[in-house]
Amino acid sequence: MHALAVDGLHKSFDGDPAVDDISLTVPQGEFFSLIGPSGCGKTTTLRMLAGLLTPDAGRVMLNGEDVTDRPARERETNTVFQDLVLFPHMTVAENVGYGLARSGVTDPERGQRVDDALALVKLAGFGDRDPADLSGGQRQRVALARALVNDPTVLLLDEPLASLDRTLRDEMQAEFRRIQRDSDTTFLYVTHDQESAMSMSDTVAVMRDGRIVNAGPPRQLYTDPQTQFVASFLGDATLLDGEVTRHAGPDVVVKTDAGPLRADADAASYAVGDTVTVAVRPEAVTLGGGGLTGTVVDIAYKGFYEEAAVDCNGTELVVRRERNTAATPENATSADGGTGVPFRVGETVTLGVDRAILVENERR
């Protein structure tokens, strides 16, 4: 049995479908992320799961029970929104215990559960504090404790980290994952931040225009994206159109404008002459040697590595190179970084591509 099962969910606003046939299942204890660009229907989906919006069609099941017709307060879901709101006139402990108090849980049980929830989010001893005196990350933890204190079947989170700065977001991401595991709660997490979704989730579902276009473990979606959209939405990728020229073991060789690329594919399902699209990720590109030739058109400094955009006959491929730690700031971008291969704008370089990804054309 799944903690959450959704079947054929639809919602239109003024005749425009915002959610168009969403089905998904989430096993108990899983961290499931729903990601996709702005406006693709993530929040609308979440609101229907929470019981805050009535679907036009489809069913929502929690722990095997159909809750589609139940209002939010009669569902065992809690929601944490982006613009989380703590009650300003209550202490941290009162905020966390609010839902328990409303459902008639009294002390000492309530106090104990509030303490446990605060300990879970590493805010033991903060109960008497005023929410206004907390940092952004601490407020986020209080909101999480408040949502976890009554042990929901599914915790729904809508971009809860969007308002935090990068450092705090990275830290809270790891904390969310830890709290999710420690509490063994099913999380359904909505975000347009692919990176954070990939690092936290057991399963990621990519949405586009109200539909789920690809779902699976992050590694699978990244290495074997089903569509061009997913390939470029999850991480960096250059897309090239080409033609299959021959089979090479389990791979196919694809002729593209940049040159021939070997793509790992279920070769049997492609014939010589097929028109295909391949995606090339920066980490698959090596500098020096290899069969492609191009001109460096841009170099971006990224900290411990540098990234060069290389024009290969009209297509830009991105290649990364770790900084030579021995290089001085003066020679760092102008020298060859100790590899003997130039890395300068205007320079001609050769590139190798270890592995291109064959992606389907969008079925739309």
Ligand X SMILES: Nc1ncnc2c1ncn2[C@@H]1O[C@H](COP(=O)(O)OP(=O)(O)OP(=O)(O)O)[C@@H](O)[C@H]1O
**Interaction site with Mg ion (CB under 5 A):** 43
| Among residues 41, 51, 127, 259, the one that binds ligand X under rule CB under 6 A | 41
Give the distance, in angstroms, between the CA of residue 171 and the centroid of all CA atoms in the same chain.
16
**Could you say whether residue 44 binds ligand X (CB under 6 A)?**
yes
**Partner from Mg ion, ligand X, none contacting 39, C-beta within 5 to 8 A by type:** ligand X
Nearer to ligand X (CB atom), residue 160 or residue 259: 160
Query: Of Mg ion, ligand X, none, which one does residue 44 interact with (CB within 5 to 8 Å by kind)?
Result: ligand X
Contacts of 18 (CB under 8 A, 6+ apart): 11, 12, 41, 44, 210
Nearer CB in complex with ligand X: 41/127: 41
In the complex, what is the shortest distance from the CB of residue 55 to ligand X, in angstroms, rounded to a whole number? 13
What are 289's two structure tokens? 């040697």
CB of 179 to ligand X, least distance (A): 23
When the beta carbons of 35 and 276 are compared against ligand X, the nearer one is 35
Which position among 13, 87, 301, 305 is part of the footprint of ligand X (CB under 6 A)?
13
The piece of 41-49, 84-92, 104-112, 356-364 that touches ligand X (CB under 6 A) is 41-49
DSSP category for residue 360: B
Query: What's the CA gap between 100 and 75, in Å, rounded?
Result: 15
Distance from C-alpha of 323 to C-alpha of 337, rounded to nearest angstrom: 7
18 binds ligand X (CB under 6 A): yes
DSSP code, position 227: B
Contact between 305 and ligand X by CB under 6 A: the answer reads no
Distance from the Cα of residue 168 to its chain's centroid: 17
Concatenated DSSP letters for 116-152? HHHHHTT-TT-TTS-GGGS-HHHHHHHHHHHHHTT--
Q: Taking the CB of residue 140, how many other CB atoms lie within 10 A of it?
A: 24
Q: Which is nearer to ligand X, 36 or 294 (CB)?
A: 36
DSSP symbols for 297-351? EEEEE-SSEEEEEEEETTEEEEEEEE--TTS-TTTTTTS-TTTTS---TT-EEEE
Q: Considering the rule CB under 6 A, would residue 40 count as an interface residue with ligand X? A: yes
| Residue closer to ligand X, measured from CB, 38 or 167 | 38
Asked if residue 208 binds ligand X (CB under 6 A), the reply is no
> How far apart (Å, rounded) are the C-alpha atoms in residues 8 and 55?
10
* Cβ(99)–Cβ(146) below 8 Å: yes
Site map (CB under 6 A) of ligand X, residues 157-196, x = contact: -----------------------------------x----
Residue from 22, 24, 30, 42 touching ligand X (CB under 6 A): that is 42
Binding-site residue total for ligand X (CB under 6 A)? 11
- Complex with ligand X: residue 18 or 215, whichever CB lies closer: 18
Q: Which stretch binds ligand X (CB under 6 A): 42-50, 138-146, 234-242, 314-322?
A: 42-50
Instruction: Point out which residues bind ligand X (CB under 6 A).
Output: 13, 18, 36, 38-44, 192
